[in-house]
Structure 1
Amino acid sequence: MRVEIWSDIACPWCYIGKARFEKGLAAFAHSDEVEVVHRSFELDPNQAKGETAQVIDMLAQKYGRTREQAQAMEANVASNARSEGLGYLVEGRDHGNTFDIHRLLHLAKARGRQDELLGLAYRAHFAEERSIFEAEVLVDLAVAAGLDADEARAVIADENAYADDVRADEREAAELGANGVPFFVFDRRYGVSGGQPAELFTQALEQAWQGREIITPLAEDAGVCDADGACEVPPSGARA
C-alpha cells in the first residue's frame, strides 16, 4: 500500500503531522508493507528566493497581529509539537521560499533518502537555529541524510533540476482538491487533511488496507496550513 503525503518544510503542522503519522503507522499491523512517498506543496511560492524574514515578524505583518499575538499563536503550535516529543523554537526561525528544498527532496527520493532528509530539514528548521534557506546548510543536511555533497550542491545551483517534479506534485495536489497541508492520501482511496491524532492515521491505514471506497475524513479539527500560508491551531477542546 502507498501513502502519499503533501507537505511543506515551512508548515509546522506538517512537522507535527509527520510525527503523528509515524506513530499511527507503527501501530498498523501491516506497516512493513506500506510505502510512504513525500510530495511537494509550497505554502508561499511567491516569496522571492533569497529573501527571508523572522517567522514572528512575518506572521504579525501577514495577518495584522501584534508581535505578542503572533508569539502566542506560535506558542500554541509549539505546545502541540512538544507533546509529540518534538523540539520547537518559537523565536529565531526564518521564513522564506522553499522551492530549493523541495527540489533537493526529489533528489533524495531518487537516491532512496527522502524521508531521512525531510526529517533532518524539519528538525533544523523548527528545533535548531539553522536556516534551511542557506545553500550550504541544505548541503550539510543532504550529506547527513546520506547524499553526495557535490551532487546536492549541483542540484541547488541548477534552478531547473527537479523543478518539473515539484510542479507536477503541486498540480496533482490541486487536482486532488488539496488546499492545505499536510494532506495524506492512502492508496488513492482515502484522504486525510491536517495533523490528526495518531490513532486516526492507524484507522485510515486499516480502512485503506481493506479496500474501502473514498470516504470523508474522520475528523476536521486538526492543525493545517492552508494555501495562503495560514497555520491554524485547533479550537479549544478539539483533539490536536
Structure 2
Amino acid sequence: MRVEIWSDIACPWCYVGKARFEKALRAFAHRGEVEVVHRSFELDPGRAKGDVEPVITMLTRKYGMSEAQAEAGEDNLGAQAAAEGLLYRTRGRDHGSTFDMHRLLHFAREQGRQEELLDLLYRANFAEERSVFDDDERLVELAGEAGLDTDAARTVLDDPEAYAAEVRDDEREAAQLGARGVPFFVLDRTYGVSGAQPVEVFAQALTQAWGERTPVRLIEGGEAEACGPDGCAVPQS
C-alpha cells in the first residue's frame, strides 16, 4: 500500500502531523508493506528566494492578527509539538521560500534518502537557530547529514531548473486531488486525510485502506509468454 504525503517544510502542522502519522504507522500490523512517498506543496508559492522575514511578522501581515495573537499561536504549536516529542522554537524563526528545499527533496528521493533529508529540514527549520532560508550552504550541509553527496546537492541548488518540474507536478496533482492545505495524506489513491489528525485517526485510515484494497482482476485470455523470477519464456519453434 502506498501513502503519499503532501507537505511543506514551512508548515508547522506538517511537522506535527508527520510525527503523529509515524506513530500510527509503527503500530500498524502491515507497516512493512506500506510505502511512504513525500510530495511537494508550497504554502507561499512564487515567493522570491531572498524574501525572508520573521515568522511572527509574516503571521501578523498575512493573517491580520496582532503580534500577541501570533505569539500565542506559536506557543500553542510549541506545546503540540512537545506532546509528540518534537523540539520547537516559538520565537526567532524565519519564513521564506521552500522551493529549493522541495527540489532537493526530489533529488534525495532518487537517492533513497528523502525521509532522512525531510526530517533534517524540519528539525533545522523548527528547532534550530540558524535559518534554512536563502542559505544554500546550510542546505548542502543538511544534504550531507542525510547521506547525500554534497557536490551533487550543490549542483542541484545551483541549477534553478533542476527538479523544478517535479515540484510543480506534485503541486498540480495536489490541486487535482482537492488538497487545499497541508499536510494532506492520500492512501492508495482511495482515501484522503487532511490535517495533523490524532494518531487514532491515522490508525483507522491505515486499517480501512488496507482492508478495502481491491485485488487485481485478470482478464481471461489464456496463457501467454511472460517473464518471471525464473526468467522469460522462450517460444518453442
Q: For residues 158-208 of structure 1, give each alpha carbon's deviation from its aligned partner in whole angstroms, at most 9, with x where no partner exists.
A: 000000000000010000000100000000110000001112111111111
Aligned partner of 1:188 in structure 2 is: 189
Aligned partner of 2:222 in structure 1 is: none
State the 1:51 CA deviation. 1.4
Q: For residues 90-136 of structure 1, give each alpha carbon's deviation from its aligned partner in whole angstroms, at most 9, with x where no partner exists.
A: 11111001000000000000000000000000000001112111101
- Distance in 1, matches of 2:213 and 2:163, equals 34
State the 1:211 CA deviation. 1.6
- Distance in 2, matches of 1:206 and 1:75, equals 33
- Distance in 1, matches of 2:66 and 2:167, equals 34
TM-score, with structure 1 as normaliser: 0.87
Aligned partner of 1:99 in structure 2 is: 99
Aligned partner of 2:115 in structure 1 is: 115
Aligned partner of 1:50 in structure 2 is: 50
Aligned letter for 2:30?
H
Aligned partner of 1:29 in structure 2 is: 29
Q: For residues 134-173 of structure 1, give each alpha carbon's deviation from its aligned partner in whole angstroms, at most 9, with x where no partner exists.
A: 1011001100000000000000010000000000000100
Contact kept? 1:82, 1:88, Cα under 8 Å: yes
Aligned letter for 2:65?
R
2:208 is the counterpart of 1:203: no
TM-score, with structure 2 as normaliser: 0.88
Aligned partner of 1:231 in structure 2 is: none
- Distance in 1, matches of 2:54 and 2:110, equals 32
Aligned letter for 2:144?
V
Aligned partner of 1:72 in structure 2 is: 72
Q: Secondary structure at the match of 2:179?
A: coil
Aligned partner of 2:129 in structure 1 is: 129
- Distance in 1, matches of 2:75 and 2:147, equals 33
List runs of 5+ in structure 1 lacking aligned partners: 214-240
Aligned partner of 2:142 in structure 1 is: 141
Structure index of larger Rg: 2
* Deviates further, 178-187 or 58-67: 58-67
Instruction: Write out the 4+ residue segments of structure 1 that deviate beyond 6 Å after TM superposition.
Output: none
Q: Secondary structure at the match of 2:193?
A: strand
Contact kept? 1:5, 1:37, Cα under 8 Å: yes
Aligned letter for 1:182?
P
Corresponding pairs, count? 213
Q: Secondary structure at the match of 1:181?
A: coil
Aligned partner of 2:226 in structure 1 is: none
Aligned letter for 2:10?
A
- Distance in 1, matches of 2:179 and 2:64, equals 26
- Distance in 2, matches of 1:109 and 1:195, equals 23
2:206 is the counterpart of 1:175: no
Aligned letter for 1:107?
F
State the 1:212 CA deviation. 5.9
Q: Please give the root-mean-square deviation of Cα atoms over the aligned residues, in Å.
A: 1.0
- Distance in 1, matches of 2:193 and 2:69, equals 29
Aligned partner of 2:63 in structure 1 is: 63
Q: Secondary structure at the match of 2:147?
A: coil
- Distance in 2, matches of 1:98 and 1:158, equals 15
